[in-house]
């Protein structure tokens, strides 16, 4: 469960990382507070929401099991635990 949240967090942080890279290319230390004082935070947040939304859309479209598949929950076979599958 933590992996999908980590993916979305990384997608959210992409615009901020790009802005920090831009600051570094302009020879401004991105670790200083004054470098972020005049940052375009509204645009960075909007970009973060867009990248997160695109990521969620792609996972929703391409992720998961095929349509019509049946979920087989975890069960015991011959004393061994069989992982859940989609058939």
Asked whether 84 and 71 are in contact (CB, 8 A), the reply is yes
Each residue's pLDDT tens digit, 64-84: 888 889 999 999 999 999 999
Specify the DSSP class assigned to residue 28: -
The pLDDT value recorded for residue 74 is 94
Give the Cβ contact number of residue 65 at 10 Å.
11
The pLDDT value recorded for residue 38 is 86
What does pTM read for this prediction?
0.71
The pLDDT value recorded for residue 1 is 65
Give the Cβ contact number of residue 52 at 10 Å.
19
Each residue's pLDDT tens digit, 4-61: 889 999 999 999 999 999 999 999 998 998 888 889 999 999 999 999 999 999 988 8
Binning the chain into helix, strand and coil, the percentages to the nearest 5 are: 60, 10, 30
């Amino acid at each position: 469960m933590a992996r999908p949240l980590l993916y979305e967090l990384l997608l959210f942080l992409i615009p901020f990382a790009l802005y920090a890279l831009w600051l570094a290319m302009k020879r401004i230390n991105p670790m200083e507070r004054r470098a972020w004082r005049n940052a375009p935070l509204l645009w960075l947040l909007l970009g973060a929401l867009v990248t997160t939304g695109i990521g969620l859309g792609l996972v929703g479209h391409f992720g998961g099991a095929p349509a019509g598949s049946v979920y087989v929950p975890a069960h015991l076979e011959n004393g061994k635990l069989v992982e859940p599958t989609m058939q």
